[in-house]
Structure 1
Amino acid sequence: MAPDSVVAVAGSSGLIGTALVYALRATDHRVLRIVRRAPSNADEVFWNPDTGEFDPAALAGVDAVVNLCGVNVGHRRWSGAFKQSLRDSRIGPTEVLANAVVEAGVPVLINASAVGYYGNTGARPVDETVGPGDNFLARLTFDWEAATAVAAEAGVRVLLTRTGLVIAPSGGVLSRLKPLFALGLGARLGNGRQYLPWITLEDQVRALLFAIGHDELSGPVNFTGPAPVTNAEFTAAFGRALNRPTVLAVPGFALRTLLGEFADEGLLGGQRAIPAKLEQAGFRFHHHTVGEALAFATAPKGD
């Protein structure tokens, strides 16, 4: 990708979007932020994905669109209304952008996705050749990815970033877990044998930049670190990073009582997802193990 390329980003105010915009600008790319409010400068363009309001002409001259939209699946207990909001925040916006990309002639669409596509796969390693699961998250992700079909059929290079837990120095899941672990209250969930695919925020952003610039990458790509771990292994590693004990466990029934359906799909199940296509394309991770990832995330600022 040429240094003066133009990349449009939807969902640019989230954890990944904020870091991606910073990295793009730091490497001399122009960023066009797609926002839901009145634009405040020439590098912002308005859209309303709820009504489908978006002018494809705003994407004239854009080299790639990155869509990171989607309500956090763990934001609240799953009700019927919240599950519908998870679908609405993903599928509709993706359809709007996919159609705009086609009409504007943008050659690349990078669309957020998730390892939840695979369902609960136990200890079996899963790469991008594995088919979808059959639970709610798997069906949601399947439909989310399918919303890009109009772009792929038109010849756009579409890449679907199936991401796991993003480990970051601030923000994200770790910011909610760290206070508990710091108090010695870190605990494995259920039996702890469910796999937790992870990636650091740094490698997530590096992989996005890599994907934008590598034409051989398309379709689903696992954006996960090379060594997924079980929940028990992650819990122990986080405790070591903070020098705190992790001897507690939260029984599965307690999680189900507290969180309902999300407990089984989001916490007690998992995927041993491996980044086969990224590594085959030549991407090299900065953080290879969960220990390295957590050291990166918990290091004092300035280290």
Structure 2
Amino acid sequence: MVMRILMAGSSGFLGTRLVDRLTSDGHQVTRLVRRPARTPDERQWTPSAAQLDPAVVAEADAVVNLAGAGVGDKRWSDDYKKLIRSSRVDTTTTLAITIAGLPAADRPSVLLNSSAIGWYGDTGDRTVEEDAPAGEGFLADVSRVWEAATRPAEDAGVRVVRLRTGLPLHRDGGMLQPQLRPIKLGLGGRLGSGRQWWSWISLRDWLDAAAFLLDGDYIAGPVNGVGPDPATNADFTRELARQLHRPAIIPVPALALKVALGGFAQDILTSTRVLPGVLTKAGFKYRHPDLRSALHAALTE
């Protein structure tokens, strides 16, 4: 079914690619922007002031919210941590309340709202699925209030999907991009102990999953946007180096990461072993179910 989709966060690493994917599927995508609209497919809003024209939302069959300051873009100063939180909560709250305030006949049928596997905190070697409670730490706390902000739309009867994205793999962004140069120079290696679990997903599979969830009118609630085969950082680094035909023998000590990255280092060193329970049960088919094929796609596609 062709849908009219309203999207927040369309200019980010995932958002730009999801716009391309959805429009190539024939959907009509309208992008929410914080500056004055410049093109027919843009609408202005000010989520920090809870300003969004309800008529813009009423035109949509579905709403996608990927907005949020990048957790790895800067050191985590107190001000930047506030921005990480507010950029997610303000956008989600504004959308959810606006959706709930519309007459039932004018509400979009689904809100696909971004979240993160940071919800689970540090799981060590223990695998978790969507029914696991929130963990501890800054990102877990952010994820908790972020997801709670969708509640007005859910209470109004709209299908709400909270997509807990893991580590999308592509050479042009995400967690993979900053690792490529050191390894290509022969200076790469495991981060910290290397025993922490990373729950990755290929970019193509993430895009497929987002489209699948928009169409899947029986899926609601939290959904782990991860691949089926999480890997330790040591195994991840070893496979990446193998595909780049470089050694990966110089480990980066945890202390060095903390000095260089501040609070964000904790996210890199946290072990989050997450499985895609909902997607698997719903019959979602991965193009890249294993790390080798996912990294190959990330480096070549």
TM-score band by shorter chain is over 0.9
The answer on whether the counterparts of 1:169 and 1:296 sit within 8 Å (CA) in structure 2 is: no
Q: Give the corresponding residue for 2:298.
A: 297
Which residue of the other structure, out of 155, 160, 166, is the alignment partner of 1:153? 155
Letter in 2 for 1:208: A
Q: Give the corresponding residue for 1:48.
A: 46
Letter in 2 for 1:97: L
Question: What does the per-residue CA deviation read over 1:236-291, in whole Å, with 9 as the maximum and x for residues that have no partner?
Answer: 01001101100111111222233233222x11112110001011111111001111
Structure 1 window deviating more from structure 2 (219-228 vs 53-62): it is 53-62
Q: Give the corresponding residue for 2:109.
A: 107
Q: Give the corresponding residue for 1:121.
A: 123
The answer on whether the counterparts of 2:203 and 2:298 sit within 8 Å (CA) in structure 1 is: no
Letter in 1 for 2:150: T
Question: What does the per-residue CA deviation read over 1:198-221, in whole Å, with 9 as the maximum and x for residues that have no partner?
Answer: 111111111000000001211100
- Normalised TM-score (structure 1): 0.95
Q: Give the corresponding residue for 1:236.
A: 238
Structure 1 unmatched ranges of 5 or more: none
Structure 2 unmatched ranges of 5 or more: none
Q: Give the corresponding residue for 1:142.
A: 144
Letter in 2 for 1:190: G
TM superposition shift of 1:85: 0.7
- Normalised TM-score (structure 2): 0.96
SS at match of 1:33: strand
Distance of 1:256 and 1:35 partners within structure 2: 34
Q: Which runs of 4+ in 1 moved over 3 A?
A: none
SS at match of 2:176: helix
Letter in 1 for 2:159: R
Distance of 2:136 and 2:179 partners within structure 1: 29
Which residue of the other structure, out of 188, 194, 197, is the alignment partner of 1:195? 197
Following superposition of structure 1 onto structure 2, how do residues 79-118 of structure 1 map, counting pairs within 5 Å? 79-104=77-102, 105-118=107-120
TM superposition shift of 1:172: 2.7
SS at match of 1:250: coil
Distance of 1:135 and 1:173 partners within structure 2: 20
The answer on whether the counterparts of 1:158 and 1:219 sit within 8 Å (CA) in structure 2 is: yes
Distance of 1:33 and 1:259 partners within structure 2: 32
The answer on whether the counterparts of 1:216 and 1:281 sit within 8 Å (CA) in structure 2 is: no
Identical amino acids, percent of aligned pairs? 44
Would you say 1:75 and 2:77 are equivalent positions?
Answer: no
Structure 1 window deviating more from structure 2 (219-228 vs 36-45): it is 36-45
TM superposition shift of 1:19: 0.9
SS at match of 2:182: helix
Q: What is the root-mean-square deviation in Å for CA atoms of aligned residues?
A: 1.2
The answer on whether the counterparts of 1:65 and 1:101 sit within 8 Å (CA) in structure 2 is: no
Q: Give the corresponding residue for 2:16.
A: 18
Letter in 2 for 1:271: T
Distance of 1:107 and 1:225 partners within structure 2: 27
Structure 1 window deviating more from structure 2 (161-170 vs 137-146): it is 161-170
The answer on whether the counterparts of 1:164 and 1:199 sit within 8 Å (CA) in structure 2 is: yes
